[in-house]
Amino acid sequence: MVRVMIPSFNIARIPNIIFGIGKLNDLFNLIPKFGKNILIITGGKSLKSSGEWDKIAENLDKLLITYSQVSISGEPSPSMVDKYATKFRGKNIDLIVGIGGGSVIDAGKAISAMIPKRYSIKEYLEGVGTKTYDGEKISYIAIPTASGTGSEATKNAVISKIGPEGFKKSLRHDNLVPDFAIIDPELMISCPQSVTAACGMDAFTQLLEAYVSPKGNPMTDALALSGIKYMKDNIIPACSNGASDVKVRAAMAYGSLMSGITLANAGLGVIHGFASPIGGFFNIPHGVICGTLLAEATKMNIEMLKKKGPSGKLGLKKHADIGALFYDGEPVKKDNILKYCDILIITLQKWTDQLNIDRLGKYGINISDVDKIVAKTGLKNNPVELSKEDIKSILINRI
């Protein structure tokens, strides 16, 4: 028997998770445990157009809950967070509920953190401010309506300032993990095809990058592969003939949740390294950035791992593990690793085409922008070192 030593690892805290069809109703049992005065943060229109907001409001009225509701659109900016933190500071808010996509969930985290403070959130952002956030917050429940960022399970809120001096930075603390995450697949059914596609590719990117990360461990590997197994057969149907199938939406929601848990513990690679500067300089959805670069970046990583010889074998094997999930063939062995790596690349390229993921050029990114993007692109947990020219090549191929 071959005995393998399991490496030491740490796992960050996760929220109390409530997952399942119809589980939104659990919200109305939870709210009274926190208090009678709540703030609800939603997206622009989808919750109201789906009719779900009317049901929520009706239940809150029955419980005699006092509530305020604000709608946000786009990714949260420092000015947006400051605006609502200032507005509700001193209002004795007992609980914040964020119901929407990843941007709404992050906005809720940030507002819950900043209501107790008197400074701008910029003062607490990593790499921007000089103050240390101490974790004080208003209690928070996250309810995603799209399957993408997995933010309902993470400890950071991503804040964006878009423009020539823009940035995409995190407010981060263990206490920012939501107190509860309610994942109800029925809420995802009304998510538009284009949003479902971009969010789905983002979640898959997070699962893949976490699985091949050098920081991965047996637990994150198991969770990442579990999420990939559910997403691989459902990402295309979720954007086509299975969009209204709650089983398809449940599979996507589960994959997204696993992506949040695994990224928080194993980290992410070059694709999310790109997402930070691109999202700061240009007004482009995060999911589109990840989705459009996924196949190209994976292809480049595999090519560079091949060139490393013996030291690249583990990275190639991990990519092959994922490729093998798309193919009902033999187990991954030394003599078929490259075959499954190729299957992974081909599958991701097909998805990019089938889902009509936009190229970066659609959002005003030109060849002249490449150098400034590459200069700020990180490789924190990428499975292989990439040169500046390698990084440029990935980017140029999707402009």
Q: What is the pLDDT of residues 184-206, one digit of tens each?
A: 999 999 999 999 999 999 999 99
Cβ atoms 154, 260 nearer than 8 A: yes
Q: List, by residue range, all CATH 1.20.1090.10 domains of the chain.
A: 193-396
Residue type, 48: K
Q: What average pLDDT does the chain have? A: 95
pLDDT at 45: 75
DSSP code of residue 8: P
User: Is 317's pLDDT higher than 90?
Assistant: yes
% pLDDT > 90, the chain = 92
Judged by average pLDDT, the poorest of 105-109, 187-191, 255-259, 324-328 is 324-328
Give the pLDDT of residue 107: 98
Per-residue confidence band for 254, with pLDDT thresholds at 50, 70 and 90: very high
Min mean pLDDT across 18-32, 91-105, 266-280, 325-339 is at 325-339
Residue 17, classed as helix, strand or coil, is strand
Confidence band (pLDDT; 50, 70, 90) for 2?
Answer: low
In the chain, the percentage of residues whose pLDDT exceeds 70 is 99
Specify the CATH number of the domain 16-188. 3.40.50.1970
Higher pLDDT, 306 or 49: 306
277 token code pair:
């500067």
Residue 4 to residue 116: CA distance in whole angstroms: 48
Helix, strand or coil, per DSSP, at residue 286: helix
Alpha-carbon 331 to chain mean position: 30
pLDDT of residue 4: 79
pLDDT value, residue 1? 59
The boundaries of every CATH 3.40.50.1970 domain in the chain are: 16-188
Q: Can you give the pLDDT at residue 82? A: 98
Q: Which CATH number fits domain 193-396: 3.40.50.10490, 1.20.1090.10, 3.30.420.40, 3.40.50.720?
A: 1.20.1090.10
Confidence at residue 44, expressed as pLDDT on a 0 to 100 scale = 77
Residue-wise burial string across 293-312, b where 16 or more C-beta atoms lie within 10 A, e elsewhere: bbbbbbbbbbebbbeeeeeb
**CA angle at 193 for the pair 271 and 240, rounded to the nearest 5°:** 110
Measure the CA–CA gap between 12 and 174, rounded to whole angstroms: 8
Q: What tens digit of pLDDT does each residue of 46-89 get?
A: 787 778 899 999 999 999 999 999 999 889 999 999 999 999 99
* 144, 183 contact by CB (below 8 A): yes
- The dihedral built from the CA positions of residue 270, 275, 278 and 284, taken in this order, carries a sign that is positive
- Per-residue pLDDT band for 360 (boundaries 50, 70, 90) equals very high
Write out pLDDT tens, residues 85-138: 999 999 999 999 999 999 999 999 999 999 999 999 999 999 999 999 999 999
Q: Which of 69-73, 235-239, 247-251, 287-291 has the lowest mean pLDDT?
A: 69-73
99, two tokens: 């119901």
Joined tokens for residue 94: 């007992």
CB atoms within 10 A of CB 11: 12
pLDDT of residue 351 exceeding 70: yes
Quick check: 11 pLDDT over 90? yes
DSSP codes, 296-336 = HHHHHHHHHHHHTGGGGHHHHHHHHHHHHHTS-SSPP-TTT
Q: Which residues contact 346 (CB under 8 A, 6 or more apart)?
A: none
Mean pLDDT, to the nearest integer, of 285-301? Answer: 97
Distance (Å, whole) CA 375 – CA 145: 34
